[in-house]
Amino acid sequence: VFVHVSALQGSALLRDGQKVSYELGQDRKTGKSKAESVRSI
């Protein structure tokens, strides 16, 4: 699933292997799946 930095909640960046929760959305331009409202857990 693609994650754009603008979808991150809070100021932290993601690290490899970090556990997160997210909502699955759809990119309006491409129709592909993307992560939205991403939060570290």
Angle (nearest 5°) at CA 37 between 1 and 5: 65
**Domain containing 27: what range?**
5-40
* Three-state SS sequence of 1-41: CECCHHHECCCCCCCCCCCEEEEEEECCCCCCEEEEEEEEC
Rounded to the nearest 5°, which phi and psi values hold at 8?
Answer: -75, 135
* pLDDT value of residue 23: 95
* pLDDT value of residue 20: 92
As for how many domains the chain has, the answer is 1
* pLDDT value of residue 3: 87
10-residue mean pLDDT profile of the chain (41 residues): values are 86 85 94 92 88
* pLDDT value of residue 34: 94
